[in-house]
Structure 1
Amino acid sequence: MKLTFQFSSLLLLALALVSFTADTKEPITVFLIGDSTMSVKEPKAYPETGWGMPFTAFFDETVTIDNRAMNGRSTKTFLSENRWQPVAQNLKKGDYVFIQFGHNDEVKTKQSYATEEEYVQNLTRFVKETRKKKANPILITPVARRKFDAAGKLEDTHAIYSELVRKLAKKEKVCLIDLDRKSQELLQAWGPETSKLLFVHLQPNEHPNYPAGKVDDTHFNELGAREMAQLVLAEIRNLKLDLARRIVVPAPKK
């Protein structure tokens, strides 16, 4: 009887250890690479806020968010300025790279301009080099600009470059977060006037950083950044990424 009790105790202990090991999460890093709509802002730019800033609060202590996004950058300049290479070098198995460019790639008058072919080529490089390290690339379409026509319909300002991302995701079998479409739906739902509350719209002397005021329909304030980050979080859940197991923010009730 004593031996049976000891065996049962050992068996239960072994099962508990196996269960503990299975539930243990290895620390991972989620790298964010992209442009100003995602980046961390200096205090002098407030209330302008990149969606990558509130994004850090969504995950448990096993996740480190390393936001490498930078104002004015495109896939082209992210490479030419040696911003991607340190990310690729530091990737480890199980990490994630969230890749969101397009705002600056698509503007022909900017030095950051990348042709459609260059854009796809550069995104492909990010994907392949991420996978080479057994990490997880996530392609994200560029977030929508606030631009309504006279009838109150939001205009699709990223149509060409967003579609390139969608096609590449399908070709390379990469998880896609279609932030362009999701953010368009959100802005359309808020409407031409109320959607101003998500962006940097300031009256003169309303904020010390912008004494002359500011009207910016590309960059978010804190509220807008949180709303966009929530869209990304919802897609992480919808895609059933392993990263979703590490989310600490409750899913909204339907």
Structure 2
Amino acid sequence: MSRHIYWAGDSTVKHNRINTYPQNGIGQVFNLYLKPEITVCNHAENGRSTKSFLDEKRLEGILDTLAKDDFLFIQFGHNDEKEDVKRHTDPFGSFQENLKIFIQEAKNKGAHPVLITPVYRRLFDEDGSLKELVHMDYPKAMLALGEELNVPVIDLCESSRQLLKATGDEGSKKWFMNFGASEYNNYPEGLNDNTHLRYEGAVIMAGLIADGLKKLGGIYEDLLLS
């Protein structure tokens, strides 16, 4: 029986087109780690928070086809941090309340919700040390909610933080949309973007999520190639 993974999330997960090349979202490459019978349905969109995703009724677009024993991967945090009223949420308030909606709606369909904390931003100090708490309390709030509701959480924020710290500033640059002028036609003046990923970075971060699924075991590990 074919199973589906649905992604609800932001631009770090989104499936990109040629007009944003070489940007790749994590959800865009995640099928590399999956068994052939698993289908990825990527509903992630640029700039969305839990609030704006729900307000725009994007969750309804998932629920239209989400079925029993499918999976809903819920990845937010980057834009919930923003101060504008259309997106901002409080980590231990409206952020958690919104996540509860995603979780409950998935369970109502007989699907399996999985919370995924946001990928770490590649931000290093002048001394070469990785900046701390780049996502404030949003990852902690997601972890706490997962424990409260007995919903699995893959802590991509922490695993990517550890990887960036070990790899260093220069070594990790090639993973992100951080490059000089004239390297890519879409960005003739270059780009200094330490949030969004190029192909290799997306594959590596997707691998960290796959590692998380493997650690969860059972139905989650069963999604992966042996």
Sort the TM-score into its range (normalised by shorter chain).
Answer: over 0.9
In structure 2, what is the equivalent of residue 9 of structure 1? none
Unaligned residue ranges in structure 1 (runs of 5+): 1-25
Residue 17 of structure 2 corresponds to residue 42 of structure 1: yes
Q: Cα RMSD (Å) of the superposition?
A: 1.3
- Counterpart-to-counterpart distance in 2, 1:101 and 1:138: 12
- Counterpart-to-counterpart distance in 1, 2:218 and 2:85: 35
TM-score by length of 2: 0.95
Q: Per the alignment, in what secondary structure is the counterpart of residue 178 of structure 2?
A: strand
Identical counterparts, % of pairs: 37
Structure number with bigger Rg: 1
Residue 77 of structure 2 corresponds to residue 106 of structure 1: no
Residue 119 of structure 2 corresponds to residue 143 of structure 1: yes
Selected match of 2:97 from 121, 136, 140: 121
- Counterpart-to-counterpart distance in 2, 1:176 and 1:246: 16
In structure 2, what is the equivalent of residue 7 of structure 1? none
Q: CA deviation at 1:110?
A: 6.6
- Counterpart-to-counterpart distance in 1, 2:187 and 2:37: 38
Whose helix proportion is higher, 1 or 2?
1
Structure 2: which amino acid aligns with 1:154?
L
TM-score by length of 1: 0.85
The 5-angstrom pairing of residues 54-65 of structure 1 reads: 54-65=29-40
Unaligned residue ranges in structure 2 (runs of 5+): none
In structure 2, what is the equivalent of residue 13 of structure 1? none
Q: Number of aligned pairs?
A: 224
Structure 2: which amino acid aligns with 1:171?
E
8 Å Cα contact 1:32/1:97 also seen in 2 = yes
Structure 2: which amino acid aligns with 1:219?
H
Q: Per the alignment, in what secondary structure is the counterpart of residue 218 of structure 1?
A: strand
- Counterpart-to-counterpart distance in 2, 1:143 and 1:80: 23
- Counterpart-to-counterpart distance in 1, 2:120 and 2:8: 17
Q: CA deviation at 1:93?
A: 1.2
8 Å Cα contact 2:6/2:40 also seen in 1 = yes
Q: Per the alignment, in what secondary structure is the counterpart of residue 52 of structure 1?
A: helix
